[in-house]
A and B are shown apart, each in its own frame.
Chain A
Amino acid sequence: MKVDTQFIDELIEKYYECETTLEEEKILQEYFTSDNVAPEHKYLIPQFIYYEEEKELLFLNNFDEKMKQILDDTPQKRFTLKLFTPWIYSAVAILIIGFGISLILNNKKVIVTGNGDIDKNEFVFQKTIYAFEQLSKNLEITDQNLDHLQKVSYGLNQLNQLKQLENLKYINKLINNSESQ
């Protein structure tokens, strides 16, 4: 049987580019297992025979069972959730302790420094009294300034009214003068 080597070359090329159909692969398989392999293709015979053997081994002879056996024989690692490692437990504990400490620190209601020999409570009272005295004094100054501004504003207003009165008097005088003339 004469084989179209050009056609086989095309198929081989397609085969290595993974573009062959199942039918074309079958043609190649049959060609390489036959006695009509062209001399230029003989170097590929072992490769295709190997593929054939592997196929038989995997697909033809109880593939499922063989796969199961392979899987069963492989020592399997037990799946453990990496989250629950001792390190994570310790980290969570540290987080809780840290949060607790910071809460205690922040909940400290009175912080005093530089009180020297003075009792802490006494010092707090002294400073609070001072703060409120300053506040009282300064609010008083603010009030006084506002008062002063109000008074100035009132004064200006009065002055304005006075000027208007003077103007009216002056106009009145002019009118009277013109009437008498």
Chain B
Amino acid sequence: MIYKYTLLLIFIIFSSNLVFAQNKNIDKLFSKYSNTNGFSSVQLKDPGKTLPNMTKRNQKEIKELLDGVEHIKVLSMEDDKVQKPTSEQFREEVMNLQPGEGFKEIFSVKDGGNALKMHIKDNNGSVSDLLMLVSEEKKVTLIWFNGKLDLEKLTKSASMLPNILK
């Protein structure tokens, strides 16, 4: 009987996690690598509220700049901390990631050992997702923004936020 209940509980938790999952392919990478040595990840839900609560400085500005952003996810790999087959595999998986239906690759640059890809998802005229795949010599990073994204505002936030948060 206890076995039955345990199965039921696992099923409920698992299925509800599937329901709340944001992007199948991106989440798959997070669940595969985020707990592996040499990898690090940050997943922020509602950063406009979460980040101001984590600092006592510039709360209002941070909130305003992040208004509309619902999720930020960052998954990074330090090349020198991860053994060869895994690091190469991750680099390949990230740079060949197909984020799913509705995404458009708007930008792709390859410069020597560095590469960058940017995808956006247009949802009824407004941008709902922005995905950046950054492959540097010693680091590979996946950065994902989701929400009701105003690109003009996000550009402003991108230039101002690092200074506000520092």
Interface residues of B (CB under 8 A from A): 5, 8-9, 12-13, 16-17, 20, 34-35, 37-47, 49-51, 54-55, 72, 74, 76, 106-107, 109, 116, 118, 130, 132, 134, 141, 143, 145, 154-155, 157-159, 161-162, 165-166
Q: Is the CB of B13 within 8 A of A112?
A: no
Cβ of A132: which chain B residues have Cβ within 8 Å of it? Answer: 157-158, 161-162, 165
The answer to whether A69 has its CB under 8 Å from any CB of chain B is: no
Q: Is the CB of B13 within 8 A of A98?
A: yes
**A94-B5, A110-B54, A142-B118 known, 6 other contacts, Cβ within 8 Å:** A94-B9, A113-B39, A131-B143, A132-B157, A138-B132, A142-B107
Nearest B-chain residue to A100, judged by Cβ? B12
The answer to whether A102 has its CB under 8 Å from any CB of chain B is: yes
Q: Is the CB of A135 within 8 A of B143?
A: yes
Cβ of B9: which chain A residues have Cβ within 8 Å of it? Answer: 94, 97-98, 101
Identify which of residues 85-100 in chain A touch chain B, using a CB-to-CB cut-off of 8 Å: 90-91, 94-95, 97-99
Chain B nearest CB, measured from A6 CB (Å): 70
The answer to whether A141 has its CB under 8 Å from any CB of chain B is: yes
Cβ of B54: which chain A residues have Cβ within 8 Å of it? Answer: 110, 121, 124-125
Q: Is the CB of B12 within 8 A of A95?
A: yes
The answer to whether A177 has its CB under 8 Å from any CB of chain B is: no
Q: How far is the CA of A125 from the CA of B162 in the complex (A)?
A: 9
Identify which of residues 76-128 in chain A touch chain B, using a CB-to-CB cut-off of 8 Å: 90-91, 94-95, 97-99, 101-103, 105-116, 121, 123-125, 127-128
